Amino acid sequence: MDNTQQTIENIDQLSYEEARDALAGIVTSLEQGSLPLKESLEQWEKGEALAHHCQKLLDGARERLEKAQAQEEK
């Protein structure tokens, strides 16, 4: 297992804020365009995993809010 895969597997342990900040750092790094192709692809894959994780956390938060609002309406 390479470092990128191991890092991607650890993403599920990050808070939303940690994942968002890591994703922002990757975007900045990729926008600079100074990384070699292989590293750019690895960073892109990690960024995709971070974005998916952030979305999953946001979806969970939305669901919790909707449940809380539904209980208040009862």
Identify the three-state secondary structure at position 30.
helix
Please give the radius of gyration of the chain, using alpha carbons only, rounded to the nearest integer: 16
Please name the residue that has the structure tokens 């909707």.
66
List per-residue pLDDT tens for the chain, 74 residues long: 455 555 777 999 999 999 999 999 999 999 999 999 999 999 999 999 999 999 999 999 999 999 999 988 87
**Which residue range forms the structural domain that includes residue 21?**
3-73
For residue 1, what pLDDT is reported? 46
Domain tally, the chain: 1
| Encoded tokens for 7 | 């890092």
Q: pTM score, two decimals?
A: 0.83
Identify the three-state secondary structure at position 35.
coil
CATH of the domain at 14: 1.10.287
For residue 59, what pLDDT is reported? 98
Report the distance separating Cα 72 and Cα 55, nearest Å: 26
For residue 8, what pLDDT is reported? 73
